[in-house]
């Protein structure tokens, strides 16, 4: 079956890196904004299998264009339309935390399942469910791990300590630290608001004089890293760096994280951001192949 990667304008470079590894063409999804704010989406040279590549940071407008592109691909003859969203939005609101709130994960998961034949993403933010296909029911859904890319980016420093800021981070901070033989500390975090967390890091006295890398799945408001870095600095840590899968932070937030003592912040190329530098194309290509999307 013919296959191509179809990419929105902001993702042409990472999508073409992926298509190069897969040995299939990369085609652009053209988007034009009408004066009233609506989008016109156009695809050309449609293949039987279409891999639509778009990260869903700042997701609201992107989601509409994504659905229009999926429809245009089917109208153009695609028999299978796959969504490859290195960053998948709306996974954090997996329950109504307060009366009257929408369960966004369920709504967006169903929307994707209704329009695509399969989904793959990187380090989806799952709390109360274990598998991505529970959030996106009825289609094959693959949550790929960025751990090998993050592990490869770890500085080669003796006595390095990895710190995960909360209990959810433990399995994959350990997955990164294990093969490298690195020490791990895991914090206990309670989120009190969008920009407010209570954080404790049991065993923090072990950071004294040691280089530390904070590891998280996503940097959003930066609140978590600012709180963690402040505590580490106050406890006498040596150089503090931060590495995360998805960088969503604004430049103001990044400046605040630096101001809290983090000397270098790096994220993967899942989302275009000043911190994005860790390649993931090989992880995505392996994921696409193991999912059987292409031979």
**Which residues would be at the binding site for ligand R5P (CB under 6 A)?**
165-166, 168-169, 216-224
Which is nearest to 272 in space by CA: 4, 55, 68? 55
Tokens coding 89: 């939005």
Quote the least distance from Cβ 111 to ligand R5P, whole Å: 22
Nearest-angstrom CA–CA distance, 245 and 78: 31
Residue 47 vs 275, nearer CB to ligand R5P: 275
The single residue listed with the structure tokens 């408001």 is 221
Asked whether the beta carbons of 246 and 217 are under 8 A apart, the reply is yes
CA nearest 283: which of 136, 7, 83, 84?
Answer: 84
* Residue 13: active-site member: no
Measured from the CB atom, the residue of 136 and 214 that comes closer to ligand R5P is 214
Please, which residue, 49 or 253, has the CB nearer to ligand R5P? Answer: 253
Minimum distance, C-beta of residue 10 to ligand R5P, in the bound complex (Å): 22
Distance CA 43, CA 73 (A): 7
> Measured from the CB of residue 168, what is the shortest distance to ligand R5P in angstroms?
5
Nearest distance, CB of residue 253 and ligand R5P, angstroms? 7
Candidates 13, 62, 130, 189; catalytic one: 189
Nearer to ligand R5P, 143 or 165 (CB): 165
Our CB check for ligand R5P shows the closer of 9 and 171 to be 171
Q: How far is the CB of 167 from ligand R5P (least distance, A)?
A: 9
Q: Which residues are tagged catalytic?
A: 189
């Amino acid at each position: 079956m013919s296959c191509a990667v179809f990419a929105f304008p902001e993702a042409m470079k990472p999508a073409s890196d992926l298509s190069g590894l897969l040995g299939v063409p990369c085609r652009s999804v053209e988007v034009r904004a009408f004066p009233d704010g609506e989008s016109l989406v156009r695809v050309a040279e449609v293949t039987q299998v279409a891999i639509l590549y778009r990260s869903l940071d700042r997701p609201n407008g992107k989601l509409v264009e994504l659905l229009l592109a999926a429809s245009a691909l089917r109208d153009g003859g695609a028999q299978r339309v796959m969504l490859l969203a290195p960053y998948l939005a709306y996974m954090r609101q997996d329950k109504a935390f307060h009366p009257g709130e929408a369960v966004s994960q369920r709504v967006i998961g169903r929307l994707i399942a209704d329009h695509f034949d399969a989904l793959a993403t990187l380090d989806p933010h799952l709390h109360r469910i274990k598998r991505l296909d529970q959030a996106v029911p009825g289609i094959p859904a693959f949550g790929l791990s960025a751990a090998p890319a993050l592990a490869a980016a770890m500085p080669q420093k003796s006595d390095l300590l990895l710190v995960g800021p909360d209990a959810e981070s433990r399995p994959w901070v350990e997955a990164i630290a294990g093969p490298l033989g690195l020490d791990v500390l895991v914090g206990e975090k309670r989120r009190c608001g969008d920009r407010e967390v209570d954080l404790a890091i049991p065993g923090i006295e072990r950071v004294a004089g040691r280089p530390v890398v904070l590891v998280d799945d996503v940097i959003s408001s930066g609140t978590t890293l600012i709180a963690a870095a402040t505590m580490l600095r106050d406890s006498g840590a040596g150089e503090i760096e931060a590495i995360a899968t998805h960088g969503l932070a604004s430049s103001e937030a990044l400046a605040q994280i630096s101001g809290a003592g983090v000397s270098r912040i790096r994220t993967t190329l899942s989302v275009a951001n000043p911190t994005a530098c860790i390649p993931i194309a090989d992880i995505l290509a392996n994921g696409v192949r193991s999912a059987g999307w292409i031979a």
